[in-house]
Amino acid sequence: MPITIRDTTYYRTSEACAAAGISKNTFFRWLRTGEFDDVSSVDRHGWRLFKEADVRRLCERAQRVTTMRVEVTAC
């Protein structure tokens, strides 16, 4: 359930990941590998708070197709 602080709506990590259709593990991997820039807002416990723009950015990242180079050898 989103929370509103000073007229700004924030989403928790699980809510943002659900909206993007990814797991939290995928999100944290993207943070570790630098594929996604971290959000700038946290609550008093240090947990991430996603603004609407952050959720859109995460959804855009989830929609991106990454091609892999695969070598096939003949049998």
Q: For 20-32, what is each residue's pLDDT tens digit?
A: 999 999 999 999 9
What is the pLDDT at residue 69?
77
Residue 45 identity: H
Q: What is the pTM of this model?
A: 0.81
CB count in 10 Å sphere of residue 32: 9
The segments of the chain whose pLDDT lies below 70 read: 66-68, 75
30 CB contacts (<8 Å, ≥6 apart)?
36, 61
Look up the CATH number of the domain holding residue 15.
1.10.1660.10
- The pLDDT, as a whole number, for residue 72 is 79
46, part of any domain: yes
Neighbour tally for 11: CB within 10 Å: 22
Q: What is the pLDDT of residue 67?
A: 67
Q: Which residues contact 39 (CB under 8 A, 6 or more apart)?
A: 48, 49, 50, 51, 54
User: Is 73 part of any domain?
Assistant: no
Full residue range of the structural domain in which residue 38 is found: 3-63
